[in-house]
């Protein structure tokens, strides 16, 4: 059958692996962000909105200051600010974490849509601005399989992979990491030992904003150089599913994101494979594949992996 041949073709194609890496990268940033937040006991489904804000501010920085790097810094600042809103409501005022995050998603969609015209002069999407240049590994030999695969990747891809290691180190080997795990499992116990529950939770949520906004910035100034309305397309939620599948560890999140990325890459490869001759009208059917996979993963793995016990539960300081 053609379809099997097409799948084998994809596996033999170095571009498939490159696409996998680049599709996994934004998910990985957001997933690590979600990990920091959930480890301290705050669920943050606002990742989707924070990514969107990151994507927008990345391009805004690039457009206003002429440098995509400034865009990335701006994105991180905005991401942290949005996360601060979530932290403030859900930590200090014990708001329902899901509802508060929903508000932030809506705010992100509203604000980015609203500002498109005043900032960029037109609705819908921006022009194409400078993006962060890819890192060329020419020593691999242009045209070689390895070069096609990893010879020109965005620095974001490397950064995401480094962050997996850094996150693991922070969570498993530092004093802060020990406190994060304690606060996410039993905030009251940590509180009675003088650990600042609010402080640790604020750190976790702000980190989630920082990392998710980097994921968003990658989508705009890292990949396209452009912002379009609602360009995150549910990636923030897929990142949450990756967190579940990866059993709330950085390494697990990495593998889960690579899996989702590969599904995405395969989808793209099949759609563009001439031997399958897929007409443009059935493409929506292919586009729903990642969402179906996410649904199956969430339904199949939730409860089989272990979430931090206090995740999603507001903690009220005594006294």
Partner 1 sequence: MNKKKWMRVAIPIISILIALLIASIIIIWIGKGSFAERFDFLVKAYTEMVKGAFGNKTAIMNTIIKMTPLILTGLAVGFGFRAGVFNIGAEGQMAMGALTATIFAVNAASLPSFVAIPLTMIVGMLAGAVWAGIAGFLKAKTGAHEVITTIMLNWIAYNITNWAVTDPFNAGGGIPKSPEIASSAKLPNLLTSQASFMSFGILIAIAAAVVIYIILYKTSMGYEVKAVGFNPYAAEYGGINVSKNIILTMAISGALAGLAGTLESIGLYYRFYGTLSSGKGFDGISIALIGQNNPFGIIAASLLIGGLRTGSNQMQFVGVPKHIVMIIQSIIIFLVAAERMVMTIMGWNRKKGAK
Partner 2 sequence: MPFHIPQEDEYKDYAVVMKGIVKQFPRVLANDHVDLYVKRGEIHAIVGENGAGKSTLMNQLYGLYNADEGQILINGEVLSINNPKDAIAVGIGMVHQHFMLVGPLTVAENIVLGDEPTKMKSFFDLAKARKEVKRISEEYGLKVDVDSKIEDISVGTQQRVEILKTLYRGADILILDEPTAVLTPQETEELFVVLRNLQNDGKTIIFITHKLNEVIAVSNNVTVMRGGKVTGQIPTSETTPRELANMMVGREVLLRVEKEKKEPGEKTLEVTGLKVNDNRGLPAVKGVSFEIRKGEILGIAGVAGNGQSELEEALMGLRKKEGGTINFNGLDITSATPRVIREARMSHIAADRFKYAMVKEFTVAYNMALGRHYKQPFAEGGFLNHKNINAISKDLVKKFDVRPPEIQNTAENLSGGNQQKMVVAREFDYQPLCMVVSQPTRGLDIGAIEFIHSTILELRREDVAILLISMELDEILSLSDRIIVMYEGEIMGEVKPNEVSLEELGLMMAGSTLEQARSEAHE
- Per-residue x/- marks for partner 2, 287-316, CB under 8 A? ----------------------x-------
CA nearest neighbour of 34 among 23, 48, 44 = 44
β 152-153/135-136 pair status: antiparallel
- Per-residue x/- marks for partner 1, 277-296, CB under 8 A? ----xxxxx-xx--xx-xx-
The residues in 192-231 that bind partner 2, with binding defined as CB under 8 A, are: 192-195
Asked if residue 127 binds partner 1 (CB under 8 A), the reply is no
Task: Phi first, then psi: give them for residue 234, nearest 5 degrees.
Answer: 80, 5
**Taking a C-beta distance cutoff of 8 angstroms, is the pair 171, 39 a contact?**
yes
Q: What is the closest distance, in whole angstroms, from the C-beta atom of residue 195 to partner 2 in the complex?
A: 5
Q: What is the closest distance, in whole angstroms, from the C-beta atom of residue 203 to partner 1 in the complex?
A: 20
Stretch that binds partner 2, among 170-178, 249-257, 264-272, 278-286 (CB under 8 A): 170-178
Asked if residue 102 binds partner 1 (CB under 8 A), the reply is yes
Residue closer to partner 2, measured from CB, 192 or 230: 192
Asked if residue 240 binds partner 1 (CB under 8 A), the reply is yes
Residue closer to partner 1, measured from CB, 136 or 317: 317
Instruction: Look up residue 279 and give its two tokens.
Output: 């007409």
Q: How many residues does the chain have?
A: 319
The residues in 146-175 that bind partner 1, with binding defined as CB under 8 A, are: none
Stretch that binds partner 1, among 28-36, 104-112, 124-132, 142-150 (CB under 8 A): 104-112
Rounded-to-integer distance, Cα 245 and Cα 297, Å: 7
CA nearest neighbour of 90 among 33, 46, 42 = 42
From partner 2, partner 1, none, which one binds at residue 176 (CB under 5 to 8 Å depending on kind)?
partner 2
Residue carrying the six token digits 């809506």 = 106
Asked if residue 178 binds partner 2 (CB under 8 A), the reply is yes
From partner 2, partner 1, none, which one binds at residue 64 (CB under 5 to 8 Å depending on kind)?
none
Asked if residue 191 binds partner 2 (CB under 8 A), the reply is yes
From partner 1, partner 2, none, which one binds at residue 291 (CB under 5 to 8 Å depending on kind)?
partner 1
Asked if residue 126 binds partner 1 (CB under 8 A), the reply is no
Q: What is the closest distance, in whole angstroms, from the C-beta atom of residue 39 to partner 2 in the complex?
A: 12
Asked if residue 199 binds partner 1 (CB under 8 A), the reply is no
Rounded-to-integer distance, Cα 196 and Cα 201, Å: 9
How buried is residue 62: exposed, middle or buried, by Cβ count under 10 Å (0-12/13-18/19+)? Answer: buried
Rounded-to-integer distance, Cα 279 and Cα 13, Å: 22
Q: Which H or E run includes 152?
A: strand 152-153
Distance of CA 110 to the CA centre of its chain: 20
* Out of 82, 116, 160, 182, the residue judged to bind partner 2 by CB under 8 A: 182
Task: Phi first, then psi: give them for residue 18, nearest 5 degrees.
Answer: -65, -45
* 3-state SS class at 278: coil
């Amino acid at each position: 059958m053609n379809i099997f041949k097409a799948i084998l073709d994809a596996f033999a194609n170095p571009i498939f692996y490159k696409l996998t890496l680049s599709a996994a990268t934004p998910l990985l940033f957001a997933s690590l962000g979600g990990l920091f937040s959930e480890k301290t006991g705050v669920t943050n489904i606002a990742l989707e909105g924070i990514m969107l804000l990151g994507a927008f501010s990345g391009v805004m920085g690039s457009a206003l200051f002429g440098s995509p790097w400034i865009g990335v810094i701006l994105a991180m600042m905005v991401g942290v600010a949005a996360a601060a809103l979530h932290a403030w409501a859900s930590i200090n005022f014990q708001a329902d974490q899901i509802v508060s995050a929903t508000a932030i998603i809506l705010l992100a969609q509203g604000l980015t849509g609203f500002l498109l015209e005043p900032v960029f002069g037109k609705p819908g999407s921006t022009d194409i601005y400078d993006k962060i240049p890819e890192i060329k590994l020419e020593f691999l030999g242009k045209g070689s399989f390895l070069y096609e695969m990893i010879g020109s990747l965005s620095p974001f891809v490397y950064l995401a992979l480094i962050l997996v290691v850094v996150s693991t180190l922070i969570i498993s080997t530092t004093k802060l990491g020990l406190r994060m795990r304690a606060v996410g499992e039993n905030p009251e116990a940590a509180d009675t030992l003088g650990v600042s529950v609010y402080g640790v939770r604020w750190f976790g949520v702000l980190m989630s904003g920082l990392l998710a906004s980097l994921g968003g910035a990658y989508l705009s100034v890292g990949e396209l150089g452009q912002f379009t309305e609602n360009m995150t397309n549910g990636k923030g939620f897929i990142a949450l599913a990756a967190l579940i599948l990866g059993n709330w560890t950085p390494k697990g999140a990495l593998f889960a994101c690579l899996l989702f990325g590969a599904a995405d890459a395969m989808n793209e490869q099949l759609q563009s494979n001439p031997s399958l001759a897929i007409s443009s009208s059935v493409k929506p059917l292919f586009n729903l594949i990642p969402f179906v996979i996410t649904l199956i993963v969430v339904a199949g793995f939730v409860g089989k992996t272990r979430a931090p016990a206090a995740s999603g539960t507001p903690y009220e300081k005594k006294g």
